[in-house]
Amino acid sequence: MTQPLTVPRPASTTGLPFILLAALLWGTIAITVAAIYRLAPLDPIRVGFYRVVFAAPALLLLMVLTGQYRGVRLSRPFLNQAGLMGLAIASDQVCNFTAIQTVGVSIASLVSLCTAPLLVAVFGALVLRESFPPRLYGLLGTALLGTALLVYRPVGLDGPHPLLGIAWAFGSALSYATILLCSRTLSTLAPPLVSLATSFSIAALLLLPVAAHQGVSLQVSWRVWGLLAYLGIVATGVGYLLFLLGMRHTSATIASVATLLEPFLAVVLAILFFGEHLTSLGFLGGGILLLSLGFLPVMLNQGVKHHGHPLETDR
């Protein structure tokens, strides 16, 4: 008889540094993609496909070299979760990049970045039975406010189909929330490299028809191939490996707050390397976001000190 899928309560706050390191790597994705666009005529869908194609074999090779596949039982819950995560990874590439094309970067980022943590909080409570004290939800709201001010640009709704673009951005947020929730469950079912190699392989297979329809171009410079390799192997493969290691000891909701470090770093790098300017509201939002992220480990440590376990609990 198949045993019901359960996700045990995280036992410590040791996973948070891994989550933050993953967010730092993910924060380099935007500037890497911007550099690729400046060097080669690649559209967002093909860049997303190359990202997954580089990540999948690298994770498979690392899984074999470390021997994490030994003794792994591919149970039905694992295959279901890995398949769902692979679908979400592929969907996130399509939805996010299509949203940027149809409504513009600012609005697409605003909708996807600020909606995903709310979806994680709701589904985390319903699916994973995570519950938190009100002050943590207050911290989530404050972090989302900072993120909204940071990425917002008063330029109106860009693109030919703004409402459709917002719908695509919401699809990206839903995909990202699914990735977070599946990561939390997969962290208890198999070694991280097995979970990631399986999920990214599925995502690559799912994206192959989309990329083939767009036309896969190999006529790019070695510099572009280097950036694509960094995007897939380091920023994505290593980033998700760190993330999944952290998810063994971190709830999905807290992880969604910690990964808001990603847009902050992306904005800082865009200012440093591409000369982009930040509005006064952007500076205010960045400060609010940093303060919120700074209070997150303090709040978790207080939960450990006062109650002997982190703030997150399973009902």
Taking each helix axis from N to C end, the angle separating 280-307 and 261-274, rounded to the nearest 10 degrees, works out to 150
Q: Is the pTM of this model over 0.75?
A: yes
Predicted confidence at residue 106, as pLDDT, reads 66
Residues of the chain with pLDDT > 70, as a percent, come to 85
How far, CA to CA in Å, does 261 sit from each of 26, 184, 249, 253, 268? 9, 19, 19, 14, 11
Kindly tell me if the per-residue pLDDT of 308 is higher than 70: no
Please state the rounded mean pLDDT for residues 22-34: 88
Query: What are the backbone dihedrals phi and psi of residue 79, each rounded to the nearest 5 degrees, phi first?
Result: -65, -40
Residues 76-132 pLDDT 10s: 999 999 999 999 999 998 888 788 777 766 677 778 877 888 888 878 777 767 666
Please answer whether residues 297 and 16 qualify as being in contact, where contact means their C-beta atoms are separated by less than 8 angstroms.
yes
Cβ within 8 Å of residue 92, ≥6 positions away: 172, 175, 176, 179
Residue 5 reports pLDDT greater than 50:
no
pLDDT at 302: 60
pLDDT per residue over 199-256, tens digit each? 999 999 999 988 888 777 778 899 999 999 999 999 999 999 999 999 888 887 788 8
Cα gap 304→298, rounded to integer Å: 10
Residues 255/19, Cβ–Cβ less than 8 Å:
yes
Nearest 10 degrees: CA dihedral of 227, 196, 92, 83?
A: 150
Asked if residue 281 lies in contact with residue 220, where contact means CB atoms within 8 angstroms, the answer is: no
pLDDT of residue 13: 61
Asked if pLDDT for residue 2 goes beyond 50, the answer is: no
Question: 242-287 pLDDT, tens per residue?
Answer: 999 998 888 877 888 888 888 888 888 878 887 777 788 888 988 9
Q: What is the DSSP string of 1-53?
A: -PPPP--PPP--STTHHHHHHHHHHHTTHHHHHHHHHHHS---HHHHHHHHHH
- Token pair 């890995």 is at which residue? 82
Structure tokens at 129: 């039975």
Cα 266 to Cα 33, 129, 131, 151: the distances in Å are: 11, 32, 31, 10
Contact indicator for 202, 86 with CB cutoff of 8 Å: yes
What letter does residue 130 receive in the DSSP assignment? Answer: E
CB 254 within 8 A of CB 16: yes
CB 93 within 8 A of CB 49: yes
Lowest mean pLDDT among 46-50, 184-188, 257-261, 299-303: 299-303
- Burial of residue 305 (CB within 10 Å: 0-12, 13-18, 19+) is exposed
pLDDT digits (tens, 9 = 90+) for 120-166: 887 877 776 766 677 777 888 888 888 888 877 665 555 566 778 88
Q: Give the whole-angstrom CA distance, residue 244 versus residue 150.
A: 27
Please provide the DSSP assignment of 259-280 as one string: TTHHHHHHHHHHHHHH-----H
Q: How large a percentage of the chain has pLDDT more than 90? A: 28
